[in-house]
Chains A and B, each alone.
Chain A
């Protein structure tokens, strides 16, 4: 009944029936298959975190090599689709430890490469893709290897945010300029200069209390605020660069999988 509901696309009804199978049987193999199918139903419904939660209930102890692989792969896929890349990578590491049949693992290398890309581990991702191509024995091997190599030679240069923050600590505004945000840098530096001028003016007018409290208060706010802004801008720029590259990589991986 669960399978026939699945076949006609009644995924919610089907998922409940698979849960019923899980509830009714004591055999771990049957329970595992029921949860795998229930997780697929959730994936079809676009409920990826629910799918992940469902797969986490599986007890992999005593399962066959192929079923263990399937559980780990589906868990990795659900974690990837839920944007939990660290957890997805963990599944691939477990796969290497627990699944003995290496031919099974080979088929998961593309997803593994995509997971590594999302975590900006581009060197490892390139190695995974090359290894996949080598094992696939496709007639397009050479051209694909070239494409992979040319894509990964152009990995984005991520900016050193800590360096930018250090720069702004010594020369106000310089961190922003290093990141390419010239307007931001000039504005922040000007505001800090104005605060200094305010302090100087009050000292000359012998208004020392005002200079110490209001003047230094303003200067401190602009100084610390500027450094925080550098961190925000740096992280934003790095994220945008990585995202752009990963989109290109995704297109190539899709091309590899269909070859």
Chain B
């Protein structure tokens, strides 16, 4: 009896030792998962990627593999490597627990890469077999993309379907509707008008485009060259080389200013659109991160 008890004790002792040694070697999947979450929250992305890559070597079930792929895609999204993020998140299947997170982050990835058409297709493809609480997010993302493409007709269609109760999207949704009105009410500026104004008064076209400082600077520059040209004309006559040189300078600057005014309208429109798009993109991201806690 006695020797068998000793044997049993020895077995338990060595098992404990073995388990302790094992736990010191490798962390379990669930430990690693929580650790990766902590690293992402603390923006330690390189450490998180390292931990994920190390975890891949363990024998994992499909759900665990999806978890690692999702985290990897999420980290690349946070690192603004949207193409890599898209590559990983596209691997998450519909039956995965990470399907919705991956789908919405992929919409953001394609949007941030500037491929609005693809992003819209991805949004439309998000499947809701049973309506989940975050279902209104789909309409919100679609509407945001419609406004990014300045497709007002599509936006107005979606406006009627928007949810007015689901709290996590309300602030950004109201902002979206406000932007739609702002874009509609904005007075359009025409390059031809700017060109004509600058022909009449140098720099006035730039003022019309919204660049008051540039307009004043152009007026002073062209006016100064015009003054010098006029002075050399009256003092030395039209055949004098000084007049020809200064006159050439004046002509180049005068025509260049007209051309610049035409362009400044385009630049001004692009700048305005860029600023609006920046706000739209920012607002698209907030509800996704709020709903999915990342």
Q: State the A residues within 8 Å of B (CB).
A: 1, 12-13, 15-16, 19-20, 23, 205-210, 213-214
In the complex, given contacts A16-B47, A19-B39, what are 13 additional A-B residue pairs having Cβ atoms less than 8 angstroms apart? A1-B24, A1-B25, A15-B47, A19-B47, A20-B35, A23-B35, A23-B38, A207-B228, A208-B231, A209-B227, A210-B228, A213-B227, A213-B228
Q: Does B51 contact A (CB under 8 A)?
A: yes
Taking a contact as CB atoms under 8 Å apart, the answer to whether A214 and B38 are in contact is no
Q: Return the chain A residue nearest B51 by Cβ.
A: A16
B246-266 CB contacts (< 8 Å) to partner A: 246
Taking a contact as CB atoms under 8 Å apart, the answer to whether B228 and A214 are in contact is yes
Q: Does B224 contact A (CB under 8 A)?
A: yes
Taking a contact as CB atoms under 8 Å apart, the answer to whether A13 and B227 are in contact is no
Q: Return the chain A residue nearest B235 by Cβ.
A: A207
The residues of A that contact B156 with a CB separation of less than 8 Å are none
Q: Return the chain A residue nearest B32 by Cβ.
A: A20
Q: How far is the CA of A76 from the CA of B24 in the complex (A)?
A: 33
Given contacts A19-B39, A20-B35, A23-B35, contact A210 B231 (CB under 8 A): yes
* Chain A interface main SS type: helix
Q: Return the chain A residue nearest B25 by Cβ.
A: A1
Q: How far is the CA of A12 from the CA of B44 in the complex (A)?
A: 13
Q: How far is the CA of A107 from the CA of B27 in the complex (A)?
A: 40
Q: How far is the CA of A111 from the CA of B136 in the complex (A)?
A: 60
The residues of B that contact A16 with a CB separation of less than 8 Å are 47, 50-51, 54
The residues of A that contact B38 with a CB separation of less than 8 Å are 23
Nearest 9 Cβ contacts at the A-B interface: A209-B231, A213-B224, A210-B228, A16-B47, A209-B227, A16-B50, A207-B231, A23-B38, A19-B47
- Which of B27, B47, B54, B228 meets A209, CB within 8 Å? B228
Q: How far is the CA of A209 from the CA of B246 in the complex (A)?
A: 13
Q: Return the chain B residue nearest A15 by Cβ.
A: B47
Q: How far is the CA of A23 from the CA of B39 in the complex (A)?
A: 9
Q: How far is the CA of A206 from the CA of B236 in the complex (A)?
A: 10
Taking a contact as CB atoms under 8 Å apart, the answer to whether A12 and B228 are in contact is no
Q: Return the chain A residue nearest B231 by Cβ.
A: A209
Q: Does B232 contact A (CB under 8 A)?
A: yes
The residues of A that contact B25 with a CB separation of less than 8 Å are 1
The residues of B that contact A1 with a CB separation of less than 8 Å are 24-25
- Which of A19, A208, A210 meets B44, CB within 8 Å? A19
A164 → B minimal CB distance (Å): 32
A243 → B minimal CB distance (Å): 33
The residues of A that contact B50 with a CB separation of less than 8 Å are 12-13, 16
Q: Which residue of B27, B35, B231, B232 has the most chain A CB atoms within 10 A of its CB atom?
A: B231
B246 → A minimal CB distance (Å): 8
Q: How far is the CA of A213 from the CA of B235 in the complex (A)?
A: 16
Q: How far is the CA of A209 from the CA of B35 in the complex (A)?
A: 75
Q: How far is the CA of A16 from the CA of B38 in the complex (A)?
A: 12
Q: How far is the CA of A214 from the CA of B246 in the complex (A)?
A: 11
A65 → B minimal CB distance (Å): 29
The residues of B that contact A209 with a CB separation of less than 8 Å are 227-228, 230-231
- Which of A13, A20, A207, A213 meets B232, CB within 8 Å? A207
